[in-house]
Chains A and B, each alone.
Chain A
Amino acid sequence: MPYYEGVIKRKFKDLVGSKYEAIQKEYSEYILSEEELRPHEIKSILLPLDFSVTEISESICELLSVYENATVTMLYITDAQIHEIIMDSLDKDAGDEFLRKKEEYGTHLLDDYENCFESRGIPCKRRMLLGNKRQDVLKLATDFDMIVLPKCYASNHPDSCDVSGDAILLAQSLAQPAIIF
């Protein structure tokens, strides 16, 4: 008997045929089908990054090398709302300077992660955008098989952060498997 079918039969061994199907339909929020129980093939991975990420995690690069044919897309986001507030409350130059500094940091971070992945033979892509750190990740996540999220992502206090609210909310809202590090 195939493994997945066996697991389901063992869990619901007192139910047979149409009764099982009826229960599965009624309790579909709780029950996984045979297909859903099977781990997904991981071919595309999204790694959101921002200013709160202060160091490269070699162990994450190592872990992702498990997924041989997967491409990692690194996404560095600068908060558009803060940029706008600076523009409105100060001036355009201050806004541009804010953006320049964040993107300069982002470029270094993406370079370092790119080295980390490429040294392990993991293909990667990079993207940088001005947007909403939570909403944009949720929007883009649908195109990926797995999300890998730094645990202080989008934190305003990266130096003293154990875990950020946005990282928890994102991890709990995603429909894909996720690694939080």
Chain B
Amino acid sequence: MKILVLLDGSMWSHKGALYALRIAQEKKAEVVLFSVLDKRDSKSMAFNFCTQSNMCSRIENYESQIWRDLRKNINDEMAQLLLFFNRKGIQTESKIVEGAVAKEILKEVEDGGYSLIVMGGYGRNPRSGGSSLFPKLLGELEVPIFMAR
């Protein structure tokens, strides 16, 4: 069995990884921790900040700083989980790719031979919202999706 854990830096996706750990331990499954960084996220965050703060002359600086922070955050997250999973004896690999989130996930699932996908139930939205990625993945994929809550 091979499990794909989708990480987006949110605590919900981190919780998803912990659910996946339990399954991996029971089923002696292999785990891939997977995250997609999309440049459009840092662009949109920088643009929102500049329009709200009236400091658009520095928008490129904001964008590159946000991009660096996003990358660092997900790298830290992956490193911590990788260590934790390895200590628990789970064969684990981590992958960070750049591109459009849904497209990259679909590509990974298509090539990876996974039996389960685990993701946070709310993505980076508040707990009353839902991950907008979920309906898209559900419609396209044959693999069961575990939503962590």
Contact = CB atoms under 8 A, between A and B. Distances in A.
Given A10-B76, A37-B14, A177 B146 contact: yes
A29 B128 contact: yes
Interface string B113-140: 0011000010000111010001100111
B22 interface: yes
Interface residues of A, number: 34
Interface in A7-33: 7, 10-11, 29-32
Given A7-B80, A29-B127, A63 B144 contact: yes
A56 to B, nearest CB: 14
Contact of A37 (B11, B116, B144): B11
B26 A180 contact: no
A39 B17 CA distance: 9
A1 B27 CA distance: 28
B127 A179 contact: no
A30 B145 CA distance: 22
A162 B139 contact: yes
A39 B22 contact: yes
Closest 6 CB pairs of A and B: A29-B126, A181-B144, A172-B130, A66-B26, A32-B11, A163-B139
10 contacts: A29-B126, A36-B15, A37-B11, A39-B19, A68-B26, A168-B134, A172-B130, A177-B121, A181-B144, A181-B145
Interface of B: 11-12, 14-15, 18-19, 22-23, 26-27, 76, 80, 84, 115-116, 121, 126-128, 130, 134-135, 138-140, 144-149
